[in-house]
């Protein structure tokens, strides 16, 4: 009798438990749509927040696979300021450059940038820094001897002969007008090349050029760990154009310089073709190597505009720069009329 009573009680408990379980599952099933919607909403919110912080405004592929050794991946998340928010502002033109920036210096506004923090070889745009150090360290009338080793370098040269002596100013014409490797070498050889390059890197640090390393004063990148970025080169170019001497030299279309000792004359024609085709072009510096492609740091001025353009890794730097300049002037004009 005791056994049967216990069995009957267990059956009652079992039936009650089954009803509880059935009720639980009915509750879960009825609430499932709301739970699913909540999960999806949280996921979408997370994606939105992630996108906001991982995709800077007006910036393309800043951490691309084209990054060079020494690049710090994943740290380029600071948004680039968008200067104009009106809907009539046109997108920039398609160009061949791997990286570039367009900056309205009058308003101190970055109008657009592509890959501004990705390191690339700067080629002879390096010589802007060579000039900055030379102008800071030496007097313009200082005699500079052209060492024989400098005349045997590859790349573009001013054509100076070994042992000719020039004023530093005339050597700077060879450096910035003709993009002479011989001129850069002669300037660095006033002391030692190692000391000069150390000063270049120190100046880069002082200017906040955090993704730039110089291995030589010329811009050679074959087997060298030498690179910079659009952002860094814009900082350098802004510093360089504070010098009226630098502006005068880089804006010179052609000039003849003479050696102080031999009297040999050298005609130098500027490598920046835009000086001959676009009125208002100030300079600044061209560059090219097989690794770097075509490069250009460029400054344009008129009564109302001052526009700086930095180009790296281009297939046609002058065409690219012209297209970006036309675009920038049009956008400035549109915003001024509204």
Domain ranges in the chain are: 17-55, 99-336
The pLDDT of 216-220, averaged and rounded, is 97
The answer to whether 323 is a known ligand-binding residue is no
Question: What DSSP assignment string belongs to 193-227?
Answer: HHHHHHHHHHHHHHHT-TT-B-S-SS---TT---B
pLDDT > 90? residue 4: no
Q: Residue 210 burial by CB count (10 A; 0-12/13-18/19+): exposed, middle or buried?
A: middle
The pLDDT of 108-135, averaged and rounded, is 97
Structure-token match 């500027």, residue found: 270
**What pLDDT shows up at residue 3?**
35
The pLDDT of 311-336, averaged and rounded, is 95
SS3 assignment, position 122: coil
Q: Would you tell me how many other CB atoms lie within 10 Å of the CB of residue 71?
A: 20
| Averaged pLDDT score across all residues of the chain | 82
pLDDT > 70? residue 227: yes
**What pLDDT shows up at residue 186?**
99
Q: Checking phi first, is residue 311 left (phi over 0); if not, alpha (psi -120 to 50) or beta?
A: beta
Higher pLDDT, 208 or 41: 208
Q: What is the pTM of this model?
A: 0.76
Question: What DSSP assignment string belongs to 144-162?
Answer: EE--HHHHT-SS----PPT
The pLDDT of 11-25, averaged and rounded, is 44
**What pLDDT shows up at residue 334?**
84
Higher pLDDT, 189 or 54: 189
Higher pLDDT, 165 or 222: 165
Structure-token match 């190597």, residue found: 289
**pLDDT tens across 272-308, in order?**
999 999 999 999 999 999 999 999 999 999 998 999 9
Contact 121, 291 (CB under 8 A): yes
**What pLDDT shows up at residue 314?**
99
**What pLDDT shows up at residue 34?**
54
Whole-angstrom Cα distance, residue 298 to residue 308?
6
**pLDDT tens across 198-209, in order?**
999 999 999 999
Active site residues: 124, 127, 179
**What pLDDT shows up at residue 46?**
44
Main-chain dihedrals φ then ψ at residue 136, nearest 5 degrees: -80, -35
Least trusted range by pLDDT, from 59-63, 202-206, 219-223: 59-63
Residue 222's pLDDT band, with cuts at 50, 70 and 90, is confident
Among 226, 148, 157, smallest CA distance to 189 is for 148
Query: Hey, what CATH topology would domain 99-336 get?
Result: Beta-lactamase (3.40.710)
Contacts of residue 300, defined as CB under 8 A and 6 or more positions apart, other chains included, come to 278, 280, 281, 282, 306, 307, 308, 309, 325
Contact 268, 257 (CB under 8 A): yes
């Amino acid at each position: 009798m005791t056994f049967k009573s216990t069995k009957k009680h267990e059956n009652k408990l079992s039936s009650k438990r089954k009803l509880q379980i059935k009720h639980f599952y009915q509750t879960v099933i009825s609430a499932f749509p709301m739970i699913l919607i909540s999960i999806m909403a949280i996921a979408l919110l997370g994606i939105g927040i992630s996108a906001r912080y991982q995709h800077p405004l007006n910036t393309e592929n800043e951490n691309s696979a084209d990054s060079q050794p020494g690049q710090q991946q994943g740290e380029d998340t600071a948004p680039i300021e968008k200067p104009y928010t009106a809907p009539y502002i046109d997108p920039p033109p398609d160009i061949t450059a791997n990286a570039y920036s367009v900056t309205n210096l009058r308003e101190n506004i970055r109008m657009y940038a592509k890959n501004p923090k990705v390191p690339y070889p700067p080629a002879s745009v390096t010589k802007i820094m060579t000039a900055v150090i030379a102008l800071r360290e030496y007097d313009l009338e200082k005699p500079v001897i052209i060492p024989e080793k400098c005349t045997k370098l590859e790349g573009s040269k001013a054509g100076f002969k070994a042992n000719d002596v020039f004023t530093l100013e005339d050597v700077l014409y060879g450096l910035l007008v003709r993009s002479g490797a011989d001129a850069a070498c002669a300037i660095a050889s006033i002391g030692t090349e190692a000391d000069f390059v150390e000063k270049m890197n120190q100046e880069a640090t002082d200017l906040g050029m955090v993704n730039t390393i110089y291995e030589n004063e010329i811009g050679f990148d074959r087997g060298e760990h030498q690179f910079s970025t659009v952002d860094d080169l814009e900082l350098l170019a802004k510093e360089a154009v504070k010098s009226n001497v630098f502006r005068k030299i880089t804006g010179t279309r052609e000039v003849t310089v003479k050696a102080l000792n031999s009297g040999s004359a050298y005609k130098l024609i500027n490598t920046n073709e835009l000086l001959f085709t676009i009125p208002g072009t100030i300079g600044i510096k061209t560059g090219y190597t097989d690794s770097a492609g075509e490069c250009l740091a460029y400054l344009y001025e008129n009564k109302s505009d001052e526009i700086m353009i930095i180009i790296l890794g281009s297939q046609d730097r002058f065409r690219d720069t012209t297209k970006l300049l036309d675009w920038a002037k049009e956008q400035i004009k549109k915003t001024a009329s509204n």
